Amino acid sequence: MTALSRAASGRVASLLMRSRPWLRNKPVMALVFCSLLIIAAVFGDMIAPYGVTEPDFAASLSPPFWMQDGSNAHLLGTDQLGRDVFSRLIGGARISLITATAAIFVAGTLGALLGLIAGYFGSIPEAVIMRLADAFLALPFILMALALVAALGSGLGNIILVMIFANWARYARLVHSEVLSIKQRDFVTLARIAGVSRMRIAVRHVFPNAINSVAALAALDFGRAIILESSLSFLGLGIQPPDVSWGSMLADGKSEMQFAWWLTVWPGLTILAAVLSFNAVGEWLKGELDPRSML
Amino acid sequence: MSVFVLKRLGQAVVTLLLMTFMIFGLARLTGDPTPLVLPAEATEADRNFFREQYGLDRSLPEQYVIFLRNVTHGDFGISFRYRKPAMEIVATAMRPTLELSAMAMVISILIGLPLGILAAMYRGRWIDRLVDLYSNIGQAVPTFWLGLMLIIAFAITWPIFPSTGYGSPMNFVLPSVTLAFFTSSSITRLTRANMEDVLRSDFVHMERVLGLSQFRIVAKHALRNASLPIVTYLGLQFGLLLGGAIVTERVFAWPGIGQTIVDAILNRDYPIVQAAVLTTALFFILINTVVDILCAALDPRVQR
């Protein structure tokens, strides 16, 4: 970014802060919670007091520690098989973050590349890629995912694949429209006059200018990805045991709702907090990366 | 205008064709369904007869053409599980889903519009902050979890509404409120944004100068100007509600299309999966296309 455009985006940002003062602050709580989730995902095995699938039949369905029959051995209670809910939540963090990160990274890269090809080279590739993207975007996300699960089957790897399929088109469309406008800018024309090859212009000059908006969309997509994965797992079509997911914990807890509220309340609250935090951090990052978009 | 309509219709047809192609491809990707359908003690002759009957012994392009021809006649084959035409089962399930989505739409509008208008009128004040909080939470709560919490609260702790079942008006309350939460929060956001723009425009300023009451300005003039994008958006949201219904139905054992799809996937009943996914996609694409065309008719700028 040149000094001039940096100054311009700084002015835009300050204008923005005057109109929406609460954006000025970093979302501290959200950042803290996101960091905790990442720590839980990476070092889960060391933090969790019990194994994810470790049963303790003597303590089956024990409530959280502050309740009458609760114990300090299982802070947030246990499920039907006596598995520790807190440990399973930590295990679920790993699965959630792995799926979301892998899916968004691959979908973003793939979509951005296809969008770049479509926007920069035009004609036939553009027609094919963008019509395909339209078709993918013309359907509800969950319906698309279900159709794919029906064919591919469930499990961690397939769920990531499904989410890539369901997500790439949004990135392709974004990069396509970005590239169309960047292509018209003077520095691209100048590069062409200077005799730089089309390939090199696309990779060295056009693409880097579109990357910030891709990163901003990716940051905002994180929450969506977490909800989609947990929805599929809740339907019994996502993550399969012995892997644990917040969504499948909810599905397991559903049958015990009358006696054991903690089996449905904790995983749900965790999803809610995770999505709220990632959305807030995403919004903030978007403002930092791509200030124009916030006007 | 007619060019736009034709273009838009063409686009819808392409999308649908792609969908049939995908569904056909996916069904074939899963391999030969014969062992799934026939009992283990079936002879090889039985299996071959079955393959012949379903055209599974033909080449792939041939199979696709047969599939496409059958689909245009609403024939998706016989459900492996129920031994009835798959389309019959899907058609029965469509009604509860449409009812649920329509009910949720009404609730979302009743909540979303007033909240959005209030937030725009009192921009930056505490009421705006509250509404902002509401719409942020609405976007982040997993629909199915909200459903479970409503069941714990209003079916188990205070048994006011039934948690499952279909038929009486009482059955509608929890599922439609669950489904409406997300939609109402996005309608709130959109209404607030549009009202805010309109309230800052010159003619509203003029009306203030002329001494019209705040209520009159908002209700009679501003709302009308803010309504076009909101109406377009409602059409799109209805399509999304169909998608959201899939998960909500699972929570409340609602006998709709979502339950049907999920059950069919779990039982590998592919004719039903194909029929249900294509029918839902058709509804979704139809609604989107009609909304786009209506929108272009109301506001020619949309045609680009």
Strand partners, B85: B78
Q: What is the pLDDT of residues A52-61, one digit of tens each?
A: 777 777 777 7
Strand partners, B78: B85
Q: What six digits make up the tokens of B127?
A: 């009421």
* A51: in domain: no
Per DSSP, helices labelled H in B73-168 are: 86-121, 126-140, 143-151
Q: What is the mean pLDDT of residues B1-5?
A: 79
- CB of A151 within 8 Å of any CB in chain B? yes
Residues 208-247 of chain A with CB under 8 A from chain B are: 223, 227, 230-231, 234-237, 247
| CA distance linking residue B151 with residue B302, whole number of Å | 43
| Beta-carbon count within 10 A of A12 CB | 15
| Beta-carbon count within 10 A of A235 CB | 27
Per the structure, the complete domain to which residue A264 belongs is given by: 102-289
Three-state secondary structure call for residue A78: strand
Under the banding of pLDDT at 50, 70 and 90, the label for residue A1 is: very low
R_g (Cα) of chain B, nearest Å: 24
* A22: in domain: no
Mutate to test the interface with B, among A131, A161, A221, A227 (most CBs of B within 10 A): A227
Higher-confidence position of A6 and A31: A31
Under the banding of pLDDT at 50, 70 and 90, the label for residue B234 is: confident
Q: Write the burial class of residue B96 (CB in 10 Å: 0-12 exposed, 13-18 middle, 19+ buried).
A: buried
| CA distance linking residue B68 with residue B62, whole number of Å | 10
Number of domains within chain A: 1
Residue tagged 């700028």 (tokens)? B301
- As a whole-number percent, the residues of chain B with pLDDT over 70 amount to 93
Residue B26, min C-alpha distance to chain A (Å): 5
The least confident of B186-200, B224-238, B285-299 is B224-238
* A92: in domain: no
* A48: in domain: no
Mutate to test the interface with B, among A19, A136, A139, A230 (most CBs of B within 10 A): A139
pLDDT at residue A110, rounded to an integer: 94
Could you give phi then psi for residue B163, rounded to 5 degrees? -85, -30
* A264: in domain: yes
Q: Which residues of A touch B286 (CB under 8 A)?
A: none
- Burial state string for A265-282 with b = 16 or more CB within 10 A and e = fewer than 16: bbbbebbbbbbbbbbbbb
Q: What is the pLDDT of residues B127-168, one digit of tens each?
A: 888 898 898 888 888 888 898 899 888 888 888 888 777 777
* A38: in domain: no
The secondary element (H helix, E strand) that includes residue B283 is: helix B270-298
The shortest CB-CB distance from A135 to any of B19, B139, B240 is to B19
Residues 6+ apart with CB under 8 A from B153: none
Q: What six digits make up the tokens of B199?
A: 């309230």
Under the banding of pLDDT at 50, 70 and 90, the label for residue B36 is: low
Q: Do A264 and B285 touch (CB under 8 A)?
A: no
ipTM of the complex: 0.80
- CB of A32 within 8 Å of any CB in chain B? no
Q: Do B152 and A257 touch (CB under 8 A)?
A: yes
Three-state secondary structure call for residue B142: coil
Q: Write the burial class of residue B52 (CB in 10 Å: 0-12 exposed, 13-18 middle, 19+ buried).
A: exposed
Q: What six digits make up the tokens of B265?
A: 């996937």
Q: Write the burial class of residue A286 (CB in 10 Å: 0-12 exposed, 13-18 middle, 19+ buried).
A: buried
pLDDT at residue B208, rounded to an integer: 77
> Is the pLDDT reported for residue B107 higher than 90?
yes
Torsion angle, alpha carbons of B158, B104, A255, A241, to 10: -150
> For B63, how many CA atoms within 13 A lie in the half-sphere containing its CB?
17
Q: Do A140 and B151 touch (CB under 8 A)?
A: no
Predicted TM-score (pTM) above 0.90:
no
pLDDT at residue B31, rounded to an integer: 64
Three-state secondary structure call for residue A50: coil
The letter for the amino acid at A130 is M
Under the banding of pLDDT at 50, 70 and 90, the label for residue A108 is: very high
Tally of residues, chain A: 295
| Nearest chain A residue (CA) to B135 | A276
Q: What phi-psi label fits residue A236: left (phi over 0), alpha (psi between -120 and 50 degrees) or beta?
A: left
Residue B245, min C-alpha distance to chain A (Å): 10
Could you give phi then psi for residue B165, rounded to 5 degrees? 110, 170
* A8: in domain: no
* A215: in domain: yes
| Among the listed residues A86, A20, A138, A121, the one whose alpha carbon sits nearest the alpha carbon of residue A267 | A86
| Beta-carbon count within 10 A of A121 CB | 15
The least confident of A42-51, A175-184, B226-235 is B226-235
- Kindly report the CATH number assigned to the domain that includes residue A233: 1.10.3720.10
The mean of the pLDDT values for chain B is 81
Residue tagged 């015990």 (tokens)? A256
